[in-house]
Amino acid sequence: MKKTDAVIIGAGPVGLFAVFELGIMGLNAHVIDNLDKVGGQCIELYPDKPIYDIPALPECTGESLTKNLLKQIKPFNTEFHLNQRVESLEKKDHNWIVTTSDQEKFETPNVIIAAGVGSFEPRKPPIKNIEKFEKTNLYYAVKDKNKFKDQIVCIFGGGDSALDWTVELSKIAKKVILIHRRDDFRAAQHTVGLARDLEKEGKVEILTCYQPLDFKGDESIKTVEVKHDDGQQKNIEVDSVLAFFGLKMELGPIANWGLDLEAKSLKVNTENFETNEKGIFAIGDICTYPGKLKLILSGFHEGALCAQECFKRAKPDEKYVFRFTTSSSDIQKRLGVK
């Protein structure tokens, strides 16, 4: 069990800036995110797109904003716990026990939910009862590529993951079959070229304008049934299936924590962004209140205000004194400014 002043759920821009606001007050935080990287929507959905409405930053991208936030919070040596979803919150006296999908546990007086529109989860192909295959030979990511040695691997998708793995696995698999719903691939054209070359060599088979219809098999997928746009169907024998249909945001376990919800957002007060539970806060896209705007700049403001209440809960015997970063030697010490 790790003890900490605050646990932040979500490493999007708003969660990252909350680390800063807590940090300059001398509070430490652990940050948990389901993705394998920090940055939330900015990194997962639009790393290269320009953003023009961050105050005093006339132009940045999702990626550069994330990089700069990480630089800004570097002095606090924050611990990130990635690839883990927060599953439950339980009350223990004045504190909360936070448990993740990897069974990591944290005890803290403050839980800041900065979970955006929810955690990023793989999108699944439109096939009934596919969950049972997830235990055997259906994958949404490659953890250990050696599993696919000498196998017939069927890959669905047209983006970088699908094409990169088509090329990579063709080196060890018996055969790779790439299936995509249209002729164009979103993936880098260079990789598409490599896959087309492998197709000519017979190592890869590429089927376009096909969509999955059914996966057949008892415990594991034995046959993949696909349908061409013109109606023709085809059965393909496989050893494993990799589906790369991107990620989707799902509210997930947050809905089960007994917090007041409105649509898919958490209701908060605008004084300190606390939810209906003491010590549980919601900031950024996940929170709602009259006039809420889902903007990064609003989330930054919300983080600053919620940090004040976090301080009171983490250090009930200390008096908080408002200070500017410009003139406070305490803050500057925490920031490592000499």
Ligand X SMILES: Cc1cc2nc3c(=O)[nH]c(=O)nc-3n(C[C@H](O)[C@H](O)[C@H](O)COP(=O)(O)OP(=O)(O)OC[C@H]3O[C@@H](n4cnc5c(N)ncnc54)[C@H](O)[C@@H]3O)c2cc1C
41 binds ligand X (CB under 6 A): yes
Q: Report the Cα–Cα distance between both ends of the chain, in Å, rounded.
A: 35
| CA atoms within a 13 Å half-sphere pointing along the CA-CB vector of 253 | 14
| Residue of the chain from 2, 3, 36, 46 that contacts ligand X (CB under 6 A) | 46
| Residue of the chain from 23, 116, 157, 212 that contacts ligand X (CB under 6 A) | 116
118 binds ligand X (CB under 6 A): yes
Nearer CB in complex with other proteins: 186/301: 186
Q: Give the E-state strand segments of 118-246 in sequence order.
A: 119-122, 138-139, 152-156, 175-180, 204-208, 210-216, 223-228, 233-237, 240-243
CA distance 28 to 317: 17
Beta bridge partners of 246: none
Which is it for strands 95-100 and 105-108: parallel, antiparallel or unpaired?
antiparallel
CA distance 315 to 42: 33
Which positions from 274 through 333 interact with other proteins, judged by CB under 8 A?
A: 294
Nearer CB in complex with other proteins: 107/121: 121
112 binds, among ligand X, other proteins, none (CB under 5 to 8 A by kind): none
Question: Which two tokens mark 156?
Answer: 């669905």
| Residue of the chain from 67, 186, 267, 278 that contacts other proteins (CB under 8 A) | 186
Nearer CB in complex with other proteins: 251/335: 251
Backbone φ, ψ for residue 88 (5° rounding) = -145, 155
Nearer CB in complex with other proteins: 294/315: 294
> Helix, strand, or coil here: 261?
strand
Q: Which residues bind to other proteins, rule: CB under 8 A?
A: 41, 45-46, 117, 123, 126, 157-159, 180-182, 184, 186, 211, 229, 245-246, 248-249, 294
Binding positions for ligand X, rule: CB under 6 A: 9-15, 32-35, 40-42, 45-46, 49, 51, 53, 85-86, 114-120, 252-254, 284-285, 294-297, 299
